[in-house]
Structure 1
Amino acid sequence: MATQPRQQESCSEAEWTARQELAACYRIFDMMGWSESIYNHITLRVPGEEAFLINPYGLLWSEVTASNLVKIDSQGNKLCASPWPVNKAGFTQHGLFHGALDWAHAIVHTHTPDAMAVCSSADGLTPTNFYACFFAGNVAYHDFEGITVRAEEGERLLRNLGDKRVLMLRNHGPVVLGETLYEMFFNYYMLQRACEIQVKTCALGRPVTVPPEVVAVHQRDRDEVALKDFGRADFEAWVRKLDRMDTSWRE
């Protein structure tokens, strides 16, 4: 993704690139209708640091820019000058995953209606559509314990996540983790699609379940069409569309 040369004097080139990519991600999510007022979070680890970037608490996702993202540590301490607070529920959950999982560089948690509906259903995500089949066997679940602001819930979140990269918080919403922002973005895109289609299919009647042996073939053949640097081409395509509408996120 092309970046502007202008950057904050107080941050490195690597951090500024991360800031621009994360700001773009917030704007794309908002453009897709996946934002929730001033709530929910997408976080990105600052390259080479034990710190991550998060949205300012009080701004809509459509107002997020590279420079107003807040840099914090896993305890929620601000590591940059910012007039904006940080949502405790955001750094409690995201700080836990960033701190405990060295591969989890990018994390998103949303409250989209369809994803929340699937999280609130007894069967969760089912292999009943093209997108959902990619996630069969690769989704973890965590029972609802209220707003995630208590550190002691962290042990159970990590245990329930296990080796998965999608954690469905029951009666709440999904958490998607990735080694890169691009991976997280594209997996979330497919998960959101899977949930939307499942909700619509269930409204029509009894869904058709795909047999396990077909799911296995479907997942195997995904590698035949996947591009290198998983999700990057998709993310950059949406950035181009975003730039045709508004470039203020780069500031």
Structure 2
Amino acid sequence: MRIAAAVAALMIAATPAMVHARPAPAPASAADAQAAKDQATVKKAMNSGDLGTIRKMVPALETVASHAPAAYPLVERKGDTFIVRAYNLDQGLIASLLASAAAEKAAPDQKTQVVVDYNTYGLAYFLLGSAAVEARNYDKASEWLDKGLALQPENLMLVTEKGMVLTAQRRFADALALYDATFEKAAAFLISDQQGKARLLRARGFSLIELGRLDEAEKAYRDSLEIEPDHGGAKHEIGYIAKLRAGGQATGIQIMNGEESMKAK
């Protein structure tokens, strides 16, 4: 039995606090005060490290999502300031360096600054989608994740979780199309999130196996091992590809939610 597992449990457990993000300014308006309150709610959910707590917070997270602005990209320019939205310190610092370099190249004589903000609303949609995945309500999960991806199509957490939903629905061609589109349009974000890139490569490989494209699948898994050389799941799938090439019988897929995958470790 081959396992496709949700990403939420691993991501939530491994996410460090973004202690070096710019300090939240004193609220200058009711909108600023609401944004600060929303950020605190999302941080509480992420920092809990517990999917049960997050499920209990779904109503509060739905309220947060209702406050999401119409435009909320991962990188946004406002005047001479580039805002980089990230979920942890490493991603934020690397993305800010890339944004700074791009700004200098585009306008070398213009002074710009880059600030890193907590990705409040992108994370709210991710958490809501993940909570629905945990409940195996894939239609609701798609609804939340699609709203997040409409704001942040390059968000690797949202992409990987949406791919998990498509895999659970046996929509492997759609999952592959999502992954390939992400590789095309999110090059800078793949540089700043190498673990996310490795997850995306493994997810792509999984879909390619199910579509019978074994050579491409093996390459995707081997590329992922260049980033995370000790990943047992990637090595297992390469072995499974060898088994299929030798005429072995295809193995069924077991869809695990986050809690089940954590218990299986």
Q: Report which of the two structures shows the higher radius of gyration computed on alpha carbons.
A: 2
User: How does the TM-score come out when normalised to structure 2?
Assistant: 0.27
User: How does the TM-score come out when normalised to structure 1?
Assistant: 0.28
